[in-house]
Amino acid sequence: MKKILFIDRDGTIIVEPPGTFQVDSIDLLEFLPLVISSLRQIRQELDYELVMVTNQDGLGTPAFPEETFRPPHNLMLKILEGEGIHWREIVIDRSFPADQSPDRKPHTGKVKHFMTGQYDLANSFVIGDRLTDMLFAKNLGCQAIFLGKSADTTEDYLAGNDDLSEVIALKASQWPEIYQFLKNRDRLITHERNTLETSIRVRLNLDGSGRTAINTGLPFFDHMLDQLGKHGGVDLQITTKGDLHIDEHHTIEDTALALGEAFALALGNKRGTERYGFALPMDDCEAMVTLDFGGRPWLVWDAEFRREKIGDLPTEMFFHFFKSFSDASKCNLNIKATGTNEHHKIEAIFKALARSVRRAIRRDMQHFELPSTKRYPLMKVAVIDYNAGNTRSVYYALQRLGIDAVFTDQIDQITSADRVIFPGVGEASSTMRYLRKLGLDKVIPSLTQPVLGVCLGMQLMCNWSEENDTKCLGIFDVDVRKFVPRRQEKVPHMGWNRIYQLDPKMFEPQLEESTLTLFIVTTCRFLLLQRHSVITYNPFRLLSVGTIFLRPNSIQKNRDQLAPGLSKNSWSFKKIPDLCTSYRQLILLMANVSDSNKGCTNAKKSITNNR
């Protein structure tokens, strides 16, 4: 889950004018010392998203006209953006203190969407200079950082007799203290995993001292996990309640998954870590465990056990445990063990894993860099939310790959992202209406970073669509029309067809054939236009009810089917031998597009052929 810094504006980012406490002209705009460099380091190095939350008393009224607020506010944002400091959201309350609005800090009315369980609020912070900011943190369920102390005490009474000492994690006098505090915090995570078979709670501190408290209901399993904590130098608490009345399988597997997930969460972006492995002897046995917390799960297992059980632990579950841990923690894990004593052998494996973990998670705070030469983990990807279908699934797919992604319709988040995905589900005209309502019909064509259009997203990048006679974004000078096959050849299906009820038993009797519309794309192709990737997605062909298959083909083979009559010189092709089968490949593909080209603003508009 994402961690957030909820940051106050006046008195925290910019200097608050004495007396009026109101920044209503550019002449009054002054940044706090070292705030820009500190925020830049936080944004670039740490796993926090930034949300500005500010009370602007009476904004939009004669007491504080909008036209006096916007110039200094916009200039502040522009300066910060120039330093790579982008905001997930900017929350402004315009009420007066006397209004007692539930949306005004320290109340949480305007930030309820951050309190739905999708964000790690326990490890998030409110940063501010007022007691109301500290109370806001308490109401949010966050921790707080108290920066100085505002001269404006108008609303201090709201804190009343509340004890805020447990909320305030740091009292700082300047921003570099905040950066160092956040950078050096223990990588502590509490993670729960609940299924029908098991309920598991893991508390993991990667910067601990080897203290453990393990209770899985399987004593020998507890003993092995204890080795992982003590020899790995991590504080580890695991409580598992599983269906042991059936067998040990779910308890062992789900504990491994929960533990792996906890490691992945605690490691975060892995800056400053070493990532890599270890070997260890134990009496007659030798175990070698090498690992890489690089984001790609893989297990190589070279260990044999002759006994059915060691203690109360089935030996057949050893492989399963490490496979589940590797999958959940997204690590490469190579394990080899030799020897005759079965107890020694598995204990040596766990101890070698622990020592590998100890070395891999060690941080060099003086060289706080990402241990990778690849570009994609550093990219911020914005997935455009246009209020249709299951487009959020694209965001979830990116998250599972460890890519820093945001699902959003906010203009500032889209324009500040390194890459943008415009996914495809829905109908053209209604989607265009929604984009116009948000102003995204102007924003998307002006983007200069690489943009991936998926299905409907690709369709809307063109001039016009035959689907309900829709005027689109006009990035590509082409029209989208229904494909009409010549003779009987197969073509990628972009028609808008009805489902005909061939078998009366196939659907409910009351379902009329005219009530359903089906949008299908039967094949998948990639076209790279300058820096603009275009894809028709959902590459499935309906054979019969319940039967679907994926059919990858090369772009060259079916170019004429994709766009009959299209001049070879009209498009900039990059040959892709096979279908890209994952969003990881799509992101890598986008990352490798030349930076010398531009996105939507430089897209070719030389395609004039009618389709």
Which residues 6+ apart lie within 8 Å of 77 measured at CB? Answer: 87, 90, 412
Q: Per this entry, what is the length of the chain? A: 611
Q: Which of 534, 297, 556, 283 is nearest to 402 (CA)?
A: 297
What is d(CA 438, CA 385) in angstroms, rounded to the nearest whole number? 11
Per-residue HEC secondary structure of 425-442 comes to CCCHHHHHHHHHHHCHHH
CA distances from 117 to 120, 351, 498 (A): 7, 35, 40
Strand order of the β-sheet with 143-147 is 89-93, 48-55, 3-7, 125-128, 143-147, 168-172
Establish whether 477 is a catalytic residue: no
Residue type, 425: V
Is residue 450 reached through a cis peptide bond, with omega within 30 degrees of 0 on the bond before it?
no
Burial 258-285 (b: 16+ CB within 10 A, else e): bbbbbbbbbbbebbbbbbebbebebeeb
Q: H-helix or E-strand containing 518?
A: strand 517-519
**Cβ atoms within 10 Å, residue 1:** 15
Q: Are 114 and 4 in contact (CB under 8 A)?
A: yes
What is d(CA 151, CA 105) in angstroms, rounded to the nearest whole number? 17
Q: H-helix or E-strand containing 344?
A: helix 342-361
Annotated active-site residue in 8, 47, 57, 235: 8
Tokens read off for 219:
């004593």
Burial of residue 227, with CB atoms counted within 10 A of its CB: 0-12 exposed, 13-18 middle, 19 or more buried = buried
Q: Which residues are catalytic?
A: 8, 10
